């Protein structure tokens, strides 16, 4: 039987704690203020949360990140949704030089 070495609950709590930091909250607020299109989609908290998930879990692609979030209820609850790999890729591409460099989807 295969077992995991990742503590899903612990890492989901870590992502939630990062999202609760004042600097991250301010960043999300600033992103929300810049959102002018009015198009439906994932909110800034979901997308920043996905970037944090990718970093905390050290995942190489947005496809794997989106799949993990979709399959992990605690992560979906922590970040407020489950973005698609394409949405993650587009969001990261809009932030060049960020800590989470854009990674093309491996689909």
Digit-by-digit pLDDT tens for the chain (107 residues) are 444 555 555 688 999 999 999 999 999 998 888 876 666 778 899 999 999 999 999 999 999 999 999 999 999 999 999 999 999 988 888 876 654 444 454 44
pLDDT at 96: 64
The answer to whether 56 touches 99, Cβ cutoff 8 Å, is no
pLDDT at site 9? 58
In this prediction the pTM is 0.77
| Other beta carbons less than 10 A from residue 83's beta carbon | 25
Give the pLDDT of residue 68. 94
pLDDT at site 78: 93
**The pLDDT value given to residue 102:** 44
Tokens for 40? Answer: 């439906």
**How far is Cα 92 from Cα 78, in angstroms, rounded to an integer?**
19
Predicted local confidence at residue 98, as pLDDT = 53
Q: How far is it, in rounded angstroms, from Cα 93 to Cα 99?
A: 12
- Supply the pLDDT for residue 27: 92
Query: Which of these, 10, 92, 44, 70, lies nearest to 103 by C-alpha position?
Result: 92
- Residue among 40, 47, 41, 53 nearest 12 (CA): 53
Question: b/e string for 41-69 if b means 16 or more Cβ within 10 A?
Answer: ebbbbbbbbbbbbbebbebebbbbbbebb
């Amino acid at each position: 039987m295969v077992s995991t070495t990742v503590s899903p609950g612990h890492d989901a709590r870590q992502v939630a704690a990062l999202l609760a930091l004042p600097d991250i909250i301010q960043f999300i607020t600033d992103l929300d203020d810049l959102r002018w299109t009015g198009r439906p989609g994932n909110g800034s908290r979901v997308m920043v949360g996905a970037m944090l998930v990718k970093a905390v879990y050290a995942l190489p692609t947005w496809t794997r990140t989106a799949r993990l979030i979709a399959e992990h209820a605690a992560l979906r609850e922590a970040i407020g949704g489950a973005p698609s790999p394409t949405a993650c890729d587009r969001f990261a591409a809009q932030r060049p030089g960020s800590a989470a460099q854009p990674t093309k989807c491996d689909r």
